[in-house]
Structure 1
Amino acid sequence: MGQPIAFFEVVSPDHRRAQTFYGELFDWQIAPDPAMGGYGLVETEAGEHAIGGGIGPSMQPGDTGVKIYVKVDDLDAYLDRAEALGGKRLVPPMDLPGDFGRFAIFTDPDGNQVGLWA
């Protein structure tokens, strides 16, 4: 069985505008957190099996865009596998605030950023 998509993220140089845009477009509830620089968790209101997400500010050049996060059981093993297939590690495994787990980011051979979440 394949690994499921667990989270999506929109990163924007104007995250407030992006939060308003997506919230109004799709009727999503977005809760910005000042402690996280205005990063807002998204509740899509699409039922119990809906994928959650976040919309937040750009932190460095080249990080804007839409990213998916795939649920995995071993971040390092999947980063190694991505590299063996031609990808590159971008962000090493890091703890998320609270008890949200850990994440890492790699790029595929075309440069697309993909997140892993454990």
Structure 2
Amino acid sequence: MGQQVAFFEVISANAERARKFYAELFDWQVDADPAMGGYALVDTGGGIGGGIGPSTGPGDTGVKIYMRVDDLDAYLDRAERLGGKRLVPPTDLPGDFGRFAIFADPDGNQVGLWA
């Protein structure tokens, strides 16, 4: 069995607008956390959860999927061997949420890894 999609993320230059848009469009529960810089965890009511947050730098806006993996470095290395590019090294998440990393595929699409 392949690696599963574990999380999605919407990053916006206007995170408040994005939170409102997706909450109203899909009837999602979206709760911004001031302690996380306004990043909001999304409860879709079943299935995959996600997050909606503010942009923190040039080129980071858009939609990403995060794949659940057991070894961030191994998957980043594998992505590079297949023509991808490492963008964000393994980084701790706040609390007990684990670690994440981000790479770009050969077409420039950003994909997250979560362990």
Structure 1 residue ranges, 4+ long, deviating more than 4 angstroms after superposition: none
**Correspondence 1:97 to 2:94:** yes
C-alpha distance in structure 2 between counterparts of 1:59 and 1:109, whole Å: 23
State the AA in 2 paired with 1:62.
G
The size of the alignment, in residue pairs, is 115
Give the fraction of aligned pairs with identical amino acids, expressed as a percent.
Answer: 78
Among 65, 69, 73, the alignment partner of 1:68 is 65
Q: Residue 97 of structure 1 aligns to a residue in which SS?
A: coil
Residue by residue over 1:10-65, the C-alpha shift from the partner in whole angstroms, topping out at 9 and shown as x without a partner, is 0000000000000000000011000111100000012xxx1000000000010000
Partner of 2:40: 40
Partner of 2:6: 6
State the AA in 2 paired with 1:26.
F
Structure 2 unaligned runs (5+)? Answer: none
Structure 1 unaligned runs (5+)? Answer: none
C-alpha distance in structure 1 between counterparts of 2:70 and 2:49, whole Å: 19
Normalising to structure 2: TM-score of the pair? Answer: 0.99
C-alpha distance in structure 2 between counterparts of 1:61 and 1:90, whole Å: 13
Partner of 2:56: 59
C-alpha distance in structure 1 between counterparts of 2:37 and 2:96, whole Å: 19
Normalising to structure 1: TM-score of the pair? Answer: 0.97
C-alpha distance in structure 1 between counterparts of 2:100 and 2:8, whole Å: 13
